[in-house]
Amino acid sequence: MKLIKQFCSKTGLHGYKFIFLPKRILLERVIWMVLTSTFLIVAVLELYDSGKKLSASSTKTVTTSINYPIWNFPFPAVTICNFNKISKEKALEKANQLRHKLDYTVPYIANLFALLSLLYYDNHNEGTTSDKSYLELLQILDYNEVDLNDFLRELSPSCNNIIKNCKWKGEEIKCDKLFEKIITSEGHCCSFNYFAPKNHTFKGSFSRKTRVKPRHVSACGYATALEVLLGPDSTDYAASDTLAFGNKVSS
């Protein structure tokens, strides 16, 4: 009896605790006991009926073949996102190309461009930046009529700086022919075999010479698929989302 009382007091099942709660009249306890017992019996009967139906018409899964050719499946997309969201070299270059610098120096404007990385992620150190810096950045962008989407793409590290060497099916190929820059939740990243949107076409440097359908491998093994050599340029970091140098790779 003690175990039953302890179970009813601790269980998350509705109604059982009211059977043994103090300061309850006997009639209320009896009503809760009848209700919980009734629903318990109904649940057991339903479970028994479901088990009986399952055993009478069970579902069986059969594999027709284990030799389905791997080349019938598209090779998965591989996306490489650098920790650095704003290239220092490109920030200086873009700052120097601005028509209206508003009496700010090129290095100062380049440092302001690093604040644009906050559009990609939550920076825990953003409180150290004054509101004045944000206003100055906004003023510079407005005066120069900057298209923010294109500007962020141009400020992001190039795929050539992130990916040093590429091989596809054992053959060394220029990375620009394999990877293209796409926008993701991590910012602008370099992606291989990316065809998520409908009617997507490759937008790499060699877009005229590449296919409009996903690539397929011809055999198993890493040597017949994609190989890349990554080399993040630590000197080009202007705005990183983590206290490290490197890349995030997903497929």
Return the residue matching tokens 């120096």: 105
Section 61-87 average pLDDT: 85
What percentage of residues in the chain have a pLDDT greater than 70? 90
Return the residue matching tokens 């490109």: 90
Section 144-158 average pLDDT: 88
Q: What is the pLDDT of residues 80-120, one digit of tens each?
A: 999 988 889 999 998 888 888 888 899 998 888 888 888 87
* Maximum mean pLDDT: which of 4-8, 118-122, 197-201: 4-8
| The residue type at 188 | H
Closest CA to 114 of 234, 242, 240: 240
What pLDDT is recorded for position 227? 92
Does the pLDDT at position 216 exceed 80?
Answer: yes
Please tell me what DSSP assigns to residue 73: S
14 or 130, higher pLDDT: 14
pTM across the whole model? 0.65
Give me the residue spans of the domains in the chain: 2-56, 72-250
CA–CA distance, 145 with 151 (Å, rounded to integer): 11
pLDDT tier at 205, thresholds 50, 70, 90? low
Residues in the chain: 251
Q: Specify the 3-state DSSP secondary structure of 42.
A: helix
Please tell me what DSSP assigns to residue 186: T
Closest CA to 246 of 162, 125, 156, 154: 162
Q: CB–CB of 210/202 below 8 Å?
A: yes
Sign of CA dihedral 140, 143, 149, 150: negative
Q: Which two tokens stand for residue 115?
A: 């604040």
What pLDDT is recorded for position 228? 92
What percentage of residues in the chain have a pLDDT greater than 90? 12
pLDDT tier at 203, thresholds 50, 70, 90? low
Does the pLDDT at position 41 exceed 90?
Answer: yes
Average pLDDT, the chain: 83
Lowest mean pLDDT among 35-49, 83-97, 180-194, 231-245: 231-245
What pLDDT is recorded for position 1? 73
Long-range contacts of 190-198 (CB under 8 A, 24+ apart): 190/79, 190/80, 190/81, 190/159, 190/162, 190/163, 191/77, 191/78, 191/79, 191/80, 192/77, 192/78, 192/79, 192/226, 193/74, 193/75, 193/76, 193/77, 193/78, 194/77, 194/79, 195/74, 195/77, 196/77
pLDDT tier at 183, thresholds 50, 70, 90? confident
